Amino acid sequence: MTEADSEAERAVEAPAEPAYGPFDVEHPPPLDFETWAEISAALLRRETPEQLDILADRELDVELWDRCDLFWLQQLSDQLGRGNSKLAERYGACCAAELKARQPDRPTAHEEAVSSAAELEGTAFMVALPDDTALPFPSPVAAEPPPLKLPATDGTEPAPADHESEAHPDVGETQVVTPLAPGDGDLPFKKRVD
């Protein structure tokens, strides 16, 4: 065997170092956008050992992943720079779906409230009062407000609550404010001098 033959044989036997990239639009990476987005979403919010396991499960070399990741992130950036958000929306939807799939099933707000109430049953927080029991504090909503009594300006009795009397400072006459029926004008009250 000649020396050249043995060198050629060693070259065949030795694994070649993978050469990744450079990738561009004309020479895209081996991962299409959807595959990249799925893997990228799977790597979100995970520790490095978990990320390496995910890449190993998919038989991806870390260097290849880094180059593909760089390429697709650049594509997202370029598209957003041109005002096109469709690619970013697809990526965002993929990430949201992944993160939602990781969450345990959570009860709705109503289910949580029912569950919390059941846990408090029989405790001081859930003592049931009969409907006719007076509360130890005043009700925040009064049934009807008390009538308004305005002070009289001429020493007589206060004006009735449905008509507000006031002395006009320029004329000295008493004016009565009468509520108007709907449609009588733009304002809900109209001042008339009697």
Query: Measured in whole angstroms, how far is the alpha carbon of residue 168 from the centre of its chain?
Result: 55
pTM, two decimals, is: 0.47
- Please compute, for residue 136, the number of CA atoms within 13 A of its CA located in the half-sphere on the CB side: 1
Please state, in angstroms and rounded to a whole number, the distance separating the CA atoms of residues 55 and 73.
18
DSSP 36: H
Give the pLDDT confidence score for residue 153 in this predicted structure. Answer: 62
187 Cβ contact partners less than 8 Å away, ≥ 6 residues apart: 180
Domain map of the chain by residue range?
A: 17-102, 164-193
The DSSP line for 65-124 is HHHHHHHHHHHHHHHHHTT--HHHHHHHHHHHHHHHHHSPP---HHHHHHHHHHHHTTSG
User: What element of type H or E holds 63?
Assistant: helix 62-81
Give the pLDDT confidence score for residue 26 in this predicted structure. Answer: 83
Give the pLDDT confidence score for residue 59 in this predicted structure. Answer: 94
Q: Could you read off the pLDDT tens digit of each residue along the chain, which spans 194 residues?
A: 566 565 655 555 544 545 666 788 788 899 999 999 999 999 999 999 999 999 999 999 999 999 999 999 999 999 999 999 999 999 999 999 999 999 887 777 777 776 776 676 666 655 555 556 666 666 666 556 666 666 666 666 555 545 444 555 555 555 555 555 555 555 555 555 55
Q: Are 87 and 79 in contact (CB under 8 A)?
A: yes
In the three-class reduction of DSSP (H, G, I as helix; E, B as strand; rest coil), residue 189 is classed as: strand
DSSP 59: T
Q: Give phi and psi for 190, each to the nearest 5.
A: -130, 135
Give the pLDDT confidence score for residue 23 in this predicted structure. Answer: 81
Q: Are 42 and 54 in contact (CB under 8 A)?
A: yes
- Please compute, for residue 104, the number of CA atoms within 13 A of its CA located in the half-sphere on the CB side: 2
